Structure 1
Amino acid sequence: IVPVMLYEVISRYLFNAPTTWGMELALLLFGPYFLLGGPYLLHLKVHVNLDVLRQRLPPAQGRWLDLFNLILLMLFFAILLYYAWPLAIQALEFRETSFSAWNPPIWPFKFAIPIAVVLMGAQSLAEFLRVLFRDTDPAGSSL
């Protein structure tokens, strides 16, 4: 994304020759990059959290809250996949383009949504199983 935007800025301001594709390509690259980074961020536990309640709970109750949260996440991803997959298939069938001056095909980029949803659901399931089967010592902290 950075090289594309750098090329666009240089061509626009130094050579007074803006491209018709620079901004659109940056957007098309950023969407899948953003979506496909989600499962990795979930694995690293660096998503934005509101831990006010979680920090005040004992470890055992916090564990149940984590399990409940992950079940809700998996349900959300199942619903999202239910609606995203037909839209990606429809975009493929119609060979959808952006209808801009450059007019690139955007149907491949629309498949990033269901792929990212499946990966997020799988990572949520892995995190659920990790929390569910994680051993805890008598004090309640994880081993």
Structure 2
Amino acid sequence: MRLYISAITAVSRAVGVLAGIMLLSAVLSVSHMVFVRYALGWSTVWQTEYTAYAIVAATFLGAPWVLTVKGHVNVDILQMAAARRLRAAMQILSALLSLFFVALLAYAGWLHFEEAWSGGWTSDTVWAVPLWMPLLPMPVGTVLLALQYVAEIMRLLLDGGEPVAEHSVLFADTTDEARP
């Protein structure tokens, strides 16, 4: 179990780095667009569309990493008042419900991706991007998020929950050595 947790967490971190690179590329794309439009007076073709696709892709691909650092929104007022066992049960229930939602989102994302792929859909712009490309990060990111939720559930079962205070740390060390 610990091997699975470590492996999925490592994949989530690697894909999180990729998401960060995509956000950086979106910033560079916007900078290029501003320079080309206003300094050179040329028109732009691909920058706006690429930026939107890169930001959405980064959002989906970065979600598993955000889960590893406990960065997702969490209302924990009841958890703070609960005993450790009840807190662990609430965290597991929350993770299971989130896993169910993410699995449904992954399935819907896959259906949409497959429809765009088989239908040969392209964007209605001059750039005419095949739409399967910007749609692919949704099923990939949500499947990775689902796998990370499974790892989090396993970790909660092994460790018996965690103190609520750890949720507020954005860059918490999630290695097994850091666990009490």
TM-score, structure 1 as length reference? 0.89
C-alpha offsets along residues 51-106 of structure 1, whole Å, 9 cap, x if unaligned? 22221212221111000001101111222222221211111112221111221222
Aligned to 2:54: 29
The whole-number CA distance in structure 1 between the counterparts of 2:51 and 2:105 is: 25
Amino acid at match of 1:123: Q
Residues in 1 aligned to 2:80 and 2:98: alpha-carbon distance in whole angstroms? 20
Q: Percent identity at matched positions? A: 27
Q: Partner of 1:4 in structure 2?
A: 29
Unmatched runs of 5 consecutive residues or more in structure 1 = 137-141
**1:109 paired to 2:134:** yes
- Counterparts in 2 of 1:96 and 1:62: CA distance versus 1, 3 Å: same
1:135 is displaced (CA, Å) by: 5.1
Name the CA distance, whole Å, in 1 between partners of 2:119 and 2:43.
30
Root-mean-square deviation (CA, aligned residues, Å) is 1.6
TM superposition shift of 1:14:
1.3
Instruction: Indicate which of 92, 97, 121 corresponds to 2:146.
Output: 121
Structure number with higher relative contact order (C-alpha < 8 Å, ≥ 6 residues apart): 2
Distance 1:91 1:98 in 2: 10
User: 1:135 and 1:76, CA in 2 relative to 1: closer, same or farther beyond 3 A?
Assistant: closer
CA distance in 1, matches of 2:111, 2:97: 22
Q: Which runs of 5+ in 2 are unaligned?
A: 1-25, 162-178
SS at match of 1:16: coil
Counterpart of 2:85 in structure 1 is 60
- Relative to structure 2, which stretch is displaced further, 109-118 or 43-52? 43-52
Alignment of 1:87-106 (within 5 A): 87-106=112-131
Asked if the contact 2:37/2:43 (under 8 Å) is kept, the reply is yes
Inter-partner Cα distance in structure 2 for 1:34 and 1:135: 30
* Deviation readout 1:83-132 (Å, 9 max, x if unpaired): 22121111111222111122122212211111111101000000000001
- Whether the aligned pair in 1 keeps the contact of 2:85 and 2:160 (CA below 8 Å) is no
**SS, match of residue 19 in structure 1:** coil
Which of 89, 96, 102 in structure 2 is aligned with 1:77? Answer: 102
Aligned match of 2:38 in 2, 9, 13?
Answer: 13
Rg larger for = 1
With 47-56 and 3-12 compared, the bigger mean Cα shift is at 47-56
CA distances 1:25-67 after superposition (whole Å, capped 9, x unpaired): 1111111111100001101112222222221212221111000
Task: Indicate if the aligned counterparts of 2:99 and 2:146 stay in contact, CA closer than 8 A.
Answer: yes
> How many residues matched?
138
